[in-house]
């Protein structure tokens, strides 16, 4: 079966009279509008289109289903109207394939087929000369020629898999750049959606060139070869879009890694290119397995620590679009961002007041905070050296109901787990509610001042720069992290104290405070010290040092005063000048002498 491109302009225009107030209109559009209503809960039987559908012959019902361009609409249609359901059950593959083609559109479909067919061809290629390979790839496998060949069953299977990944990534991309309130459906415009999808499928192709099974694995290290084999097939706008999406994929993966991994980010961008959209999506879905997934990527992972970032500058300079030798990449005036935002945004960070192009979060979209905010990694946001306290990290995991086998830090925990003090602390800690999630923790952090009942912690929160923050306040990524870091340790202390109070063991929430508290360096290396003292407290050493100096100063003043009084007493008892000058000079008392040395 040869495929037919059914774009919006080439849909069948089966018309029904008297559909709505606008007279005749394409039936597929009426179906789409009715499906949208059905998806919000309105039954088809209560819509105006039902009588029209019942009058149509079965052949037109079949064509209506094949003209749908969205799987959500298809699902609503077949579940809402029995005839649609029976037609779908008769040949589901044919209908699903047509809907897939409609959903992709002809240009995206061509890019998707190219990204599938070239990797399938490479193992069968017997050419060894890179020029011959480049000629075949750029001529025989040109995107414009992909629609001339029949789509095989195996290709359809891959198309469905790639389309699923592409759709999921598009939702994340929309949430990142277009609208922070994007939930399960992309809010990109049709043009933005098309550009993004073409980038994703073309990056699958680039991944196949840089992967371990590539026949051009060594040759593609050369920028000149990359240009001929890949970049020359696309416009400058296309190349800019590609590198914009590569940058986004790197940032997405970066946000899935733990904060402690920031020091080892070399070659991550390169691994995103080699692994392709598949790996990036799996990392987003399973952020706890990020490093395992990245380590499984094979190919040119060590080709460039910058991840071919300089390619964009080279392409622009090679095409005479920017000045050679410029300190930064010059973006030509005709190149536009993949997602265009309004010049003026009504939203800004409530703390730092950053506005244009900044991602913002509050209670409305806490479900989609960066993947670094996970229950098993929340201890990364503890203040000071408390984040290195294995005892507290394990207690937090236990509180959230996360088994120690899922400890993401790879710590040697035997010194703690085999200790009675640690076991006792776990036994006294009431588990978190079943509905405990990161959004709930964030809400409780914003409401924290209402639960603090000690002068010390009240003063701490009042003096903190995030005093007065509420769940409705918008915060950018940096400010959100700083707010969590500033408050999480206080929240954790209160959680433990409340848990121990409920278990009728007051005073057991914390042992004696370590004088250095959060900042104690022994938390990283001394299990005995960690288990003996509580470190979920402020560093008291500056205050203790100040009190010690005050005490020493007071003692010094008292010693000086006593010494002065002793001298006055000694002078009062000394012989006058009228007496015998040969009398022996009195020897100062030992007490007076000692005090003077101390005062000095």
Q: Please tell me whether residue 360 adopts helix, strand or coil conformation.
A: strand
Strand pairing partners for 211?
299
SS (H, E, C) 252-306: HHHHHCCHHHHHHCCCHHHHHHHHHHHHHHHHHHCHHHHHHHHHCCCECCCCCCC
Query: Cβ of 442: how many Cβ atoms within 10 Å?
Result: 23
Please check whether residue 374 is in contact with residue 287, taking contact to mean a CB–CB distance below 8 angstroms: yes
Determine which helix (DSSP H) or strand (DSSP E) holds 220, and give its type and residue range. none
Asked if residues 229 and 137 have their Cβ atoms less than 8 Å apart, the reply is: yes
Take residue 281 and report the two structure tokens written for it.
């999506």
What is the radius of gyration, based on Cα positions, of the chain? 35
Q: Which two tokens stand for residue 249?
A: 């994929």
The answer to whether 271 and 279 have CB atoms below 8 angstroms apart is yes
Give the pLDDT confidence score for residue 589 in this predicted structure. 39
Strand ranges (DSSP E) for 90-219?
none
Alpha-carbon distances of 551 from 115, 486, 597, rounded to whole Å? 77, 32, 18
pTM: predicted TM-score of the whole model, two decimal places: 0.81
Q: How far apart are CA 37 and CA 327, in angstroms?
A: 54
pLDDT at 41: 47
Cβ atoms 461, 467 nearer than 8 A: yes
Residue 48 has a pLDDT of 56
> CB under 8 Å to 247, separation ≥6 — which residues?
269
480 HSE (CA, 13 A, CB side) = 28
Q: How many residues does the chain have?
A: 600
CB 357 within 8 A of CB 430: no
- Averages of pLDDT over each 10 residues, the chain, 600 residues: 39 38 48 52 54 78 87 87 90 92 94 97 94 96 92 94 95 94 91 97 98 95 97 97 98 90 79 97 95 94 93 94 83 92 76 84 95 93 93 92 76 73 82 92 95 91 93 95 96 89 56 90 90 91 78 79 70 52 42 30
DSSP conformational letter for 175? I
Residue 507 to residue 505: CA distance in whole angstroms: 6
β pairing state of 475-476 and 360-361: antiparallel
Place of tokens 């964030």: 442
């Amino acid at each position: 079966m040869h495929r037919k491109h059914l774009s919006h302009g080439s849909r069948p225009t089966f018309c029904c009279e008297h559909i709505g107030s606008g007279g005749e209109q394409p039936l597929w559009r009426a179906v789409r509008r009715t499906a949208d209503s059905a998806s919000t809960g309105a039954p088809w039987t209560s819509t105006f289109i039902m009588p029209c559908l019942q009058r149509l012959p079965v052949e037109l019902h079949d064509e209506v289903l094949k003209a749908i361009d969205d799987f959500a609409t298809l699902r609503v249609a077949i579940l809402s109207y029995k005839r649609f359901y029976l037609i779908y059950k008769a040949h589901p593959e044919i209908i699903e394939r047509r809907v897939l083609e409609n959903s992709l559109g002809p240009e995206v479909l061509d890019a998707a087929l190219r990204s599938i067919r070239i990797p399938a061809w490479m193992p069968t290629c017997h050419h060894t000369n890179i020029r011959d390979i480049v000629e075949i790839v750029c001529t025989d496998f040109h995107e414009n020629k992909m629609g001339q060949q029949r789509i095989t069953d195996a290709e359809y299977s891959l198309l469905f898999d790639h389309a699923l990944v592409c759709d999921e990534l598009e939702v994340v991309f929309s949430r990142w750049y277009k609208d922070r309130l994007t939930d399960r459906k992309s809010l990109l415009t049709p043009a933005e959606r098309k550009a993004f999808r073409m980038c994703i499928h073309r990056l699958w192709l680039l991944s196949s060139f840089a992967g371990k099974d590539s026949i051009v694995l060594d040759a593609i290290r050369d920028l000149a070869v990359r240009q001929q084999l890949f970049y020359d097939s696309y416009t400058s706008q296309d190349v800019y879009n590609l590198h914009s999406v590569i940058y986004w994929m790197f940032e997405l993966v970066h946000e899935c890694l733990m904060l402690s991994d920031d020091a080892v980010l070399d070659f991550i961008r390169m691994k995103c290119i080699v692994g392709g959209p598949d790996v990036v999506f799996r990392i987003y879905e399973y952020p706890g397995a990020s490093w395992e997934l990245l380590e499984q990527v094979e190919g040119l992972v060590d080709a460039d620590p910058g991840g071919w970032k300089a390619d964009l500058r080279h392409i622009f300079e090679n095409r005479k679009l920017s000045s050679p030798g410029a300190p930064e990449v010059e973006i030509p005036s005709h190149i536009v961002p993949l997602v265009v935002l309004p010049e003026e945004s009504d939203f800004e960070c409530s703390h730092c007041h950053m506005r244009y192009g900044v991602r913002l979060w509050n209670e409305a979209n806490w479900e989609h905070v960066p993947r670094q905010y996970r229950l098993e990694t929340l201890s990364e946001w503890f203040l000071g050296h408390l984040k290195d306290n294995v005892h507290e990290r394990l207690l937090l995991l236990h509180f959230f109901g996360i088994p120690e086998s899922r400890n993401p830090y790879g710590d040697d925990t035997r010194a703690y787990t085999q200790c009675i003090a640690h076991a006792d602390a776990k036994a006294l800690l009431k588990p978190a509610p079943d509905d405990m999630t990161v959004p709930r923790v964030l809400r409780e952090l914003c409401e924290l001042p209402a639960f603090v009942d000690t002068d010390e912690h009240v003063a701490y929160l009042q003096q903190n720069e995030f005093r007065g923050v509420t769940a409705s306040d918008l915060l950018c990524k940096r400010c959100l992290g700083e707010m969590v870091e500033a408050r999480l340790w206080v929240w954790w202390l209160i959680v433990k104290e409340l848990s121990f109070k409920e278990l009728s063991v007051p005073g057991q929430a914390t042992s004696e405070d370590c004088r250095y508290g959060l900042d104690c360096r022994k938390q990283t290396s001394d299990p005995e010290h960690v288990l003996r003292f509580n470190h979920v407290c402020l560093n008291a050493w500056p205050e203790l040092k100040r009190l010690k100096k005050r005490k020493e100063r007071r003692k010094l003043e008292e010693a000086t005063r006593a010494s002065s009084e002793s001298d006055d007493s000694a002078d009062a008892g000394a012989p006058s000048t009228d007496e015998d000058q040969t009398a022996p000079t009195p020897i100062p008392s030992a007490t007076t002498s000692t005090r003077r040395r101390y005062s000095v």
